A and B are shown apart, each in its own frame.
Chain A
């Protein structure tokens, strides 16, 4: 159905991290790939390589992916040392082979961080992000109890800025890029989004305590203001939000001195 391409095809070698399970040792394996079309996405090349491995009797490379358009946050490869690879403001699935040249060796690893244990090959467990959300990443509103949506106006600038933060896809590249494996950019994005909305004010202090505490407990490192995180973020979420998180946290600490708040924002039962 598809006509033969007139594009110049080329060859690369994929040097891929293979690890059978969480407790097994891992190592790199080279996979030569010929007839690479520059219009192929990087993940499509992995598909093709995997079909080849399968036909040759091997076990294909496990890698995480779903939407393949940069929005679900599932894909998560560190490519040539950079989470999500050489592009700017894109996720792994939005990387196209035209970014590489004939003869390149491309090193492919999972996102590496203590809080993201490897499950198999390039797949890691990022459920620590969900735990942070469960601790306080919400506004407690029971279904059906909401007032008319236009009864609380939100200044356009605030809504726009909240949206900048809310664009986070929860991929974890920020953690993988950080030498301390800190989750500050992710948490800052969430705290800022909700903290910028008037609806988010009542639980603002509780939320920032609970989320930061859970983040620390999950084994993420501290932020030392290197900003490698923003540099790899597929949604180019700015580190300004980290400053905002710090301000929120200090403000909450200060207020807590005078008016103790509970640390647990959860338990919102009914």
Chain B
């Protein structure tokens, strides 16, 4: 049974981080260059960590499967990044950002972690501005802000609709500077396929060069994973196509606990699926719900009709009807589930029947077409590009889609997993968002972890490792891990199957969406737990992976990732089944209030569930870490 000590420092909430920084062990400057640190990933979390650790003098090796660090999935974030700057003088504070984030997470995150996040948020904006990130500005030259869901203040900083891109390019420029200066050794097109654990400590990784197929061993004094979220377990999502769970899954199989995998976020406003060929779902910003009205036809017979031909009296503005006080601006999870119910009743719009209308005609009457264009023009353009429809003339069709994963590898306050020496940052860890993440807080967390937390906390671990004591890469543990990887590659290539990898990924996605998507039930999850292992067996028997292992082979890359997704999907369902309550993004139909809101059970489930691998074919162990709220009361989350 894994030991889960959160190592939360004692003392008043607002002093914990300062005090902790003063008390943790330091590595002296001359010794830093004797330590080698592996950073896997160069999204916001990975590139900020790699750059900062190299600035401090550590020798950093950075691995990414992308052809350039600048292509990490963080690049796609649109809306913005939160920070408690209170530049608007509207009453924001570190405490308010802390409280909003904790409440937004439905009281399933650690208090101390969330408070630290809110504290360092202000430094992030300073850092990024100094790097030259072209944030939106007011006419006076000061930084502009916008509002986001779950907050009553304006604290979101942004760079047009490309905030993630600009923040990542900032972190990438810091990383590039350190690569140029020789502080970071950059390995692109390099996929980590196993973690090497020596005497109980994470001391290296096994990497496959995606262009040449060469497999190599890398030893280090500590390993950092900043490898992003696992939303593509659903196949269709707003994630980049290549985002995957392989790094965290293989670490899990080496003993790292995976916490709360069932906490997944489904965003209500995305462009719906148009056909079986679909590879990706595109997000339409939540801001559209300020002026758009959501409806479906009242009658099933009208579902396939041209929306213009459906009379006003035959339209059901269901959010306004069911949630009169919040209407179209009710919380993400509530809106998503309501849309699903309408479609399940057969009233969904469009060819597939999986869509609801987001109608701007009232707004156009009120503001004029030009007024709407000014507010949302770029989103209307994207919508047009994808669907060939003009949302000025006909309502948009939208549907919920998988967007973010709050679960991830378990970490303590130092961001270290239960395997000493293995640190996990960004979306790959579970730490700060509880059961639901508020908009504009993932970017904040990634950069907080990389720029401002790990540079301190890694010292506490390294100071206890003798300089130069890292094991050589010819040790048995490295050899065994490498053989593990090579054997898997060989097995795939030799398989006499008939179906391409995508076939299985699609089927897994459909299972996950059906049984473990927006609304989950005991029965459905039990069905999934029957079907997924069967799919897994079929996958290994019947997958076809053409080509060879010693060149660029995208089928082979995908095969490994989908194999991991299938196993992770099973664990996700198991976690959802055992969490007999509803909270945030995890909605069990059996546990709801009469108004359809989540019904938590703090008594029984006010804890983190951290799953521990027990070997092939064995049921994993469910460890728990109690969430002891010292300063806040776990209350019913209400936005009414």
The residues of A with any CB-CB pair to B shorter than 8 Å are: 1-3, 5-7, 20-21, 37-41, 43-45, 47-48, 50-51, 54-55, 57-60, 62, 64-69, 71-74, 90, 94, 96, 98, 119-120, 123, 125-127, 129-130, 133-150, 152-156, 159-160, 162-163, 166-167, 169-170, 193-194, 196-197, 199-200, 265-270
Bitwise, B335-375 to A at CB < 8 A (1) or not (0) is: 00000000000000001111000000000000000000000
> 16 other contacts beyond A146-B129, A268-B181, with CB at 8 A cut-off?
A7-B351, A39-B388, A54-B546, A71-B75, A74-B71, A137-B176, A138-B173, A138-B177, A141-B131, A146-B123, A146-B126, A153-B142, A160-B134, A265-B180, A266-B180, A270-B55
Return the 5 tightest CB-CB contacts between A and B, nearest first: A153-B141, A266-B180, A146-B130, A138-B173, A149-B129
Closest chain-A Cβ to B326's Cβ sits at a distance in Å of: 29
Question: Smallest CB-CB separation from A47: which chain B residue?
Answer: B279
Known: A69-B282, A167-B162. A199 touches B68 (CB 8 A): no
Chain B, range 123-150, C-beta contacts under 8 Å to A: 123, 125-132, 134-143
B134 close to A147 (CB less than 8 A) = no
B551 sits at the interface (CB 8 A) = yes
Asked whether, in the complex, the Cβ of A60 is within 8 Å of the Cβ of B546, the reply is yes
Residue in chain A with minimal CB distance to B385? A94
Beta-carbon contact of B546 and A66 below 8 Å = no
Inter-chain CA distance A28–B193, complex, in Å, is 34
Within the assembled complex, what's the spacing in Å between the Cα atoms of A67 and B280?
A: 8
Nearest chain-A residue to B165 (Cβ)? A71
Q: A71-B76, A96-B388, A119-B211 in contact; A139/B131 too (CB < 8 A)?
A: yes
Any chain A CB within 8 A of the CB of B403? no
A43 and B279 in contact, given A51-B503, A94-B385, A143-B55 (Cβ under 8 angstroms): yes
Taking CB atoms, residues of chain B closer than 8 Å to A138 are 131, 173-174, 176-177
B-side contacts of A149, CB under 8 Å: 85, 125-126, 128-130, 135, 143
Q: Is the interface of A mostly helix, strand, loop or mixed?
A: loop
Say which one of B482-490, B494-502, B527-535 lies at the interface with A.
B494-502
As a 0/1 sequence over residues 547 to 577 of chain B, the CB contacts with chain A under 8 angstroms (1 = contact) are 1000110110000000000000000000000
Q: Cβ of B166: which chain A residues have Cβ within 8 Å of it?
A: 163, 166
- Using known A-B contacts A40-B277, A54-B500, A120-B551, determine if residue A143 contacts B546 with beta carbons closer than 8 Å: no
Would you call B276 an interface residue if the criterion is a C-beta within 8 Å of the partner chain's C-beta atoms? yes
A67 to B87, CA, bound (A): 33
B183 at the interface (CB under 8 A from A): yes
Interface size class of B (residues with CB under 8 A): 35 or more
B169 within 8 A of A: yes
A5→B68 contact, CB < 8 A: no
Contact A159 B135 (CB under 8 A): yes
A68 to B160, CA, bound (A): 19
**Closest Cβ–Cβ distance, residue A99 to chain B (whole Å):** 10
Question: Which residues of A sit under 8 angstroms from B55, Cβ to Cβ?
Answer: 142-143, 269-270
Q: How far is the CA of A111 from the CA of B466 in the complex (A)?
A: 49
Determine if B480 is an interface residue (Cβ-Cβ < 8 Å). no
CB-CB under 8 A from B52, the residues of chain A are 143
Which residues of B, 494-537, contact A by the 8 Å Cβ criterion? Answer: 498-500, 502-503, 510
Residue of A with least CB distance to B545: A54
A199 touches which one: B76, B132, B138, B159 (CB < 8 A)?
Answer: B132
Q: Is the CB of A147 within 8 A of B130?
A: yes
Kindly list chain B residues whose C-beta atoms are within 8 Å of the C-beta of A152: 129
The chain A residue sitting closest to B85, CB to CB, is: A149
| Distance (whole angstroms) from the CB of B449 to the closest CB of chain A | 12
Contact A40 B555 (CB under 8 A): no
Scoring A59, A141, A200 by chain B CB atoms within 10 A of each residue's CB, the highest score goes to A141
* Pairs A–B under 8 Å by Cβ, sample size 23: A1-B510, A2-B276, A2-B354, A6-B351, A43-B279, A44-B279, A55-B499, A55-B544, A59-B546, A60-B547, A69-B382, A119-B211, A144-B452, A146-B130, A149-B130, A156-B137, A159-B137, A167-B165, A169-B75, A196-B134, A199-B131, A199-B132, A266-B181
Q: Does B67 contact A (CB under 8 A)?
A: yes
Partner of A39, one of B159, B275, B499: B275
Distance A24 CA – B140 CA, assembled complex (angstroms): 58
Q: A54-B544, A67-B75, A71-B75 are in contact. Are A139 and B385 (CB under 8 A)?
A: no
- Docked CA distance A169–B70 (Å): 9
Pick from B134, B173, B386, B452 the residue with the most CB of A within 10 Å. Answer: B134
Residues of A within 8 A of B140 (CB): 153
Contact B544 A143 (CB under 8 A): no
Find the residue from B278, B544, B554 having the highest chain A CB count within 10 A.
B554
Min CB distance B22 to A, Å, is 16
Across the interface, do B500 and A51 meet the contact criterion of CB distance under 8 Å? yes
B188 & A127 in contact (Cβ 8 Å cutoff): yes
Chain B residue at minimum C-beta to C-beta distance from A159: B137
- List the B side residues contacting A7 at CB < 8 Å: 351
Instruction: Using known A-B contacts A3-B353, A71-B76, determine if residue A140 contacts B160 with beta carbons closer than 8 Å.
Output: no
Tell me, rounded to whole Å, the shortest Cβ–Cβ distance linking A10 to chain B: 14
The CA-CA distance from A193 to B554 in the complex, in Å, is 35
Q: Could you tell me the distance between the alpha carbons of A60 and B544 in the complex, rounded to whole angstroms?
A: 12
Neighbour of B388 across the interface among A98, A125, A170, CB < 8 A: A98
| Closest beta carbon of chain B to A8's beta carbon, Å | 13
Q: Tell me if A126 and B67 are in contact (CB < 8 A).
A: yes
Assess the A47–B277 pair: CB atoms within 8 A: yes
CA distance A64 to B211 in the complex (A): 12
- Complex CA gap A163/B137 in Å reads 11
Give the residues in chain A near B130, CB-CB below 8 Å.
139, 141, 145-147, 149, 199
Given contacts A74-B71, A137-B176, A167-B162, contact A96 B385 (CB under 8 A): yes
Given A146-B130, A152-B129: A44 and B278 interface contact (C-beta under 8 Å): yes
A55 to B499, CA, bound (A): 6
| Most chain B beta-carbon contacts within 10 A, residue among A135, A149, A152 | A149
Q: Which of A38, A62, A66, A142 has the most CB of B within 10 A?
A: A66
Contact B552 A73 (CB under 8 A): no
Per the bound structure, the CA–CA distance linking A125 and B510 in Å amounts to: 35
Closest Cβ neighbor of B166 among chain A residues: A166
Q: Which of B67-82 contact A (CB under 8 A)?
A: 67-71, 73, 75-76
Q: Mark B459-486, 1 if CB is under 8 A from A, else 0.
A: 0000000000000000000000000000
B387 at the interface (CB under 8 A from A): yes
In the complex, residue of chain B having the shortest beta-carbon distance to the beta carbon of A68: B280
Give Cα A50–Cα B241 distance, bound, in whole angstroms.
16
By the criterion CB–CB under 8 Å, are A55 and B387 in contact?
no
Interface contact B274-A54, CB-CB below 8 Å: no
Contact in complex: A134, B176 (CB < 8 Å):
yes
A137 to B388, alpha carbons, bound, how many Å?
Answer: 38
With A143-B451, A269-B181 in contact, do A39 and B555 touch (Cβ < 8 Å)? no
Rounded to whole Å, the gap between the CB of B201 and the closest CB of chain A is 27
B66 contact set on A, CB distance < 8 A: 66, 74
Assess the B546–A5 pair: CB atoms within 8 A: no
